[in-house]
Amino acid sequence: MIGDYKGTVKNKVVVALLQAYHDILDYDGMKSILREAEMMYIKDVRDENPNDSIDFFSFKKIISAQNCLLYDSSDLLFEIGKKFSFYLFPFGKSFEEIIDEINSSIITNWRVNIIKNNENEIILQVHRCIFCSEIGVPCDLLKGFLVHSLQKSLPSEYRLTYERDKEDVNDPNHNSFIAKLKIEKY
């Protein structure tokens, strides 16, 4: 891990992520990621105050371990992203509120901004995504997170498609991008 990892992450974010690992990979899968991150002690974080924080460097160790072990597993990362959204925001919140809250819950040099929002599409600008900052890692976790976060607020007859500019995972700046969520009625 090379870079500057200053910042804080609320415990509820860590709890939601661990719960997502648990749902998709079960207990041993979650443990595998924490073991690889040398962060096994954090598995009981759900007992802590959800609005307390851990340092961003520790959180980034978990994400790096996840990206190492889930190499070439984009479908799983997408599903983990969906579950992450489900557990972080279990109650009704608008997409705009969710984006505000994820920005304020993970405080570091990153940002997700809504730059266009109408009934047909939402366009987001993602600056220095923390989930895919490593070279070679595609951003499937955030994709799953965004898709689920918007999908759950739409009536069932609406279909959502995710588009983004062509991703070159070997470009060191690939974690800054524009994403589009297109909303269509069946």
Partner 1 sequence: MNIEETKELREFVFKITILGDAAVGKTSLISQFVESSFQEDYKPTLGANIVRKDVILDKTRVRLIMWDLAGQEKYRVVRSMYFQGCEGALLVYDVTRYHTLDSINSKWLRDFKKHVRKKGAYILIGNKIDLKDQRVIPTERGKELATKIKASHFIETSAKLGENIEEAFFLLVNQILSNHGVSI
Q: Which residues bind partner 1 (CB under 8 A)?
A: 24-29, 31-33, 36, 68-76, 79, 136
Cβ closest to partner 1, residue 23 vs residue 121: 23
CB of 18 to partner 1, least distance (A): 13
**Contact between 186 and 159 (Cβ < 8 Å):** yes
In the complex with partner 1, which residue's Cβ is closer, 47 or 72?
72
- Give least dist CB 185 to partner 1, A: 28
Is 11 or 64 the residue whose CB approaches partner 1 more closely? 64
Q: What is the torsion angle, in degrees rounded to the nearest 10, for the CA atoms of residue 23, residue 27, residue 47 and residue 65?
A: -90
| Rounded Cα distance, 1 and 163, in Å | 29
Q: How far is the CB of 19 from partner 1 (least distance, A)?
A: 13
Kindly tell me which of 56 and 134 has the beta carbon lying closer to partner 1: 134
Residue with tokens 């070997």: 170
CB of 146 to partner 1, least distance (A): 19
**Taking a C-beta distance cutoff of 8 angstroms, is the pair 164, 180 a contact?**
yes
Contact yes or no for 102/134 (Cβ under 8 A): no
How crowded is residue 40: how many other Cβ atoms within 10 Å of its Cβ?
12
